[in-house]
Amino acid sequence: MPVLEIDDARIDYDIAGDAGPLVVQLHGLTSSRDRDAQLGLDLGRALRGHRVLRFDARAHGNSSGTLRAQDYGWDSLAGDLLALLDHVAPGERVHGVGPSMGTGTLLHAAVRDPRRFASLTLVVPPTAWGSRRAQAQTYLDGADLVEREGIGAFHEQGSTAPVPPALADAPLTRPSVDERLLPTVLRGAAATDFPPKRLIEQIAVPTLILAWSGDRTHPLKTANKLHELIPRSRVVIARSPYGVMAWPGLFAEHVTTSA
């Protein structure tokens, strides 16, 4: 697999397809492109006639990381994303899609370089703004748990958490972050947030928001607020696994009609 060196980290990526517009697909916190595929979140699989760039964020999956918490803020991850796009497709407008942490990363990248994106697909937007503080404490507690009892205890705690109805059939997976780096990654996530709302309002590209119900970590309140702020957006809510099964088709339609 090709890699790109960025600020002491190696970003592992792959590109499927030989021709057509570029789609860049991100993943969520403690996940990876392979783990998201296991969870049914490889939304680019229904696309035809496009190149799909998938990569593991720093410290996730096959990418290496650092022990600096600030490197895992969404604004810093947006810098990694834009550097990767400059390397793979300099000057090209791309379609961006990503869940949770991927959504935060895309929003920061879109407000920093709005001409870079032809469309956005924001999947299960996480807590943000007013709801971020409580989630931040959860991440800090998780970092302490890993340091105190190891990644196994962290995984066990996550496996007993309530599952959204849309993930009822999803397999149980383990974190895709090395135990040595996981506390730093979690502390970086605790300290980050979406861009200010006034900047979100300036996003002008077609935006599809895919959310699911019954998840306090990814509340519908965030998805609905983004829909309210972004002028050319629509929101689709999955309330069962069947709703998530429809997402690749919805995403493909969104990308092809946003060209």
Q: What is the pLDDT of residues 17-54, one digit of tens each?
A: 889 999 999 999 999 999 988 888 899 988 999 999 99
98 Cβ contact partners less than 8 Å away, ≥ 6 residues apart: 25, 26, 27, 28, 105, 106, 121, 122, 123
Tens of pLDDT, residue by residue over 119-154, are: 999 999 999 999 998 999 999 999 999 999 999 998
Report the alpha-carbon distance of residue 140 to residue 145 in Å, rounded. Answer: 9
Cα angle, residue 52 at apex, residues 225 and 10 outer, rounded to 5°: 90
pLDDT (tens digit per residue) in 155-173: 888 776 778 898 888 888 8
- Select the more confidently predicted residue: 39 or 180: 180
Kindly state the DSSP code that residue 195 receives in the 8-state scheme: P
Per-residue model confidence (pLDDT) at position 256: 95
Tell me, what's the pLDDT at 123?
A: 98
pLDDT of 180 higher than 90? yes
Give the homologous superfamily in CATH for domain 3-257.
Alpha/Beta hydrolase fold, catalytic domain (3.40.50.1820)
* pLDDT higher than threshold 90 for residue 7: no
- Sequential DSSP letters for 238-252: E-SHHHHHTHHHHHH
State the average pLDDT over residues 233-243: 96
Calpha distance 55→176 (Å, rounded): 13
User: For residues 132 and 64, what is the distance between their CA atoms, to the nearest angstrom?
Assistant: 27
Q: Are 61 and 36 in contact (CB under 8 A)?
A: no
pLDDT computed for residue 170 by the predictor: 81
Percentages helix, strand, coil for the chain (3-state, rounded to 5) are 45, 20, 35
What is the rounded distance in angstroms from the CA atom of residue 74 to the CA atom of residue 80? 10
Element (H, E) at 103: helix 101-112
pTM of this structure: 0.97
- The reported pLDDT for the residue numbered 168 is 85
Using CA atoms, how far apart are residues 243 and 138, in angstroms rounded to an integer? 28
The per-residue pLDDT for range 61-103, each reduced to its tens digit, is 999 999 999 999 999 999 999 999 999 999 999 999 999 999 9
Residue 2 has pLDDT above 80, yes or no: yes
